[in-house]
Amino acid sequence: MYPSSMTTSAGARRVRLTSTGGPEVLRVEAMPVPEPGPGQILITTEAAGVAFHDISTRRGLTPGALPEVQGFDVVGHVARVGAGVAEFTVGQRVGALIGAGGYATHVLAPALRTAPLPEGPPAENLDALMLNYLTAWQMFHRVARPVPGEAVLVLGAAGGVGSALSQIARSAGVEVYGTSSPGRRGRVQAGGATWVANQAAVPVPVAAAFDPVGGPSLAPSRRVTKPSGVVVSYGFSFATGAGYSKVGAMARTIGALLQAKLTPGPRVVVHTVARAVDKDPAGFRADIAALVEQLAAGAIEPEVVTLPLEQAAEAHRRLENREVEGKLVLLP
């Protein structure tokens, strides 16, 4: 029997993370529909994003407790609002950064991490804005702030955030150098970046380097960045598939950050989108509104791969094997 704070609904489903391990630990199951508490809204999900961070979490490499349901970002319609929520109404289309719980047909979201969205664009394109493009926009415009004519380095420029960074930088008049595997060189170039094999191949000092690899990658990223510039670290994909334990991965990460702090050169900033949103909810909504305008104007063009919610395990497999170009989205 479900708690009184939940109701049942035919067809309500979620993808539960049963333990750490491979994609097979993700299980589709029926779910109760929760009631929103104070400051929360209940969203009927149209699209739920899958991120590389989900892979690290599933493998037990990220700090904190293992979430029961993964999924950081969702797009959908407001089904119910909790006490104290006046800025959203039932039926309104919204996007939310929930941190965990997105792989489900019904999702609870903090109102402060929710932004209004238009009805026109496909849900999967809007979902790409909610995490990938928002992360890229914040790192570019709020952290690095390069000016037209300068250059930046984007590691993993064929991926979801990397390709978003390339588009955002190009629209701002900034030159982009992007890394990827040789097989994805054409995609990097199609996104408006000059392909380079690695940091050492960048021909000029850059104003900013955007590094999702972390750990041992930060030092070479700093070497190619101007002393007055910044390396923006926003992940630690170096640990995935490398045989590190959680403790080992964190030790390498902390060691690299300490080395950067104690040696001369460009500063390193660790960017966490959730922290930025919690610090400035109004700024978060302004950023999403700006991205929606850029989407409508054609200045950004998300590349999205969709799979049914029931194929979350397959989504993880593809993402882990670097088979996905752009944003991967689950559709309930």
Q: Are the C-beta atoms of 161 and 136 separated by less than 8 Å?
A: yes
What does the alpha-carbon distance between residue 6 and residue 159 come to, in Å, rounded to a whole number? 38
User: Which whole number is the average pLDDT over 52-81?
Assistant: 94
User: Which whole number is the average pLDDT over 139-165?
Assistant: 96
Q: Is the confidence at residue 102, as pLDDT, over 60? A: yes
Q: Are the C-beta atoms of 87 and 40 separated by less than 8 Å?
A: no
* Per-residue pLDDT tens over the stretch 255-275: 767 787 778 899 999 999 999
User: Which whole number is the average pLDDT over 86-103?
Assistant: 97
List the one residue out of 57, 66, 91, 84 whose CA is nearest residue 237. Answer: 57
- Residues 306/195/208/270 CA torsion (nearest 10 deg): 40
- Regarding pTM above 0.95, the answer is no
Give 1's pLDDT tier (boundaries 50, 70, 90).
Answer: very low
Q: Are the C-beta atoms of 309 and 315 separated by less than 8 Å?
A: no
Q: Is the confidence at residue 8, as pLDDT, over 60? A: no
What does the alpha-carbon distance between residue 123 and residue 332 come to, in Å, rounded to a whole number? 11
CA dihedral sign of residues 241, 19, 275, 104 = positive
Q: Is the confidence at residue 14, as pLDDT, over 90? A: yes
Give the range among 93-97, 177-181, 258-262, 263-267 with minimum mean pLDDT: 258-262
Give 216's pLDDT tier (boundaries 50, 70, 90).
Answer: confident
Q: What is the pLDDT of residue 95?
A: 98
Q: What is the pLDDT of residue 6?
A: 56
List the one residue out of 159, 127, 165, 125 whose CA is nearest residue 143. Answer: 165
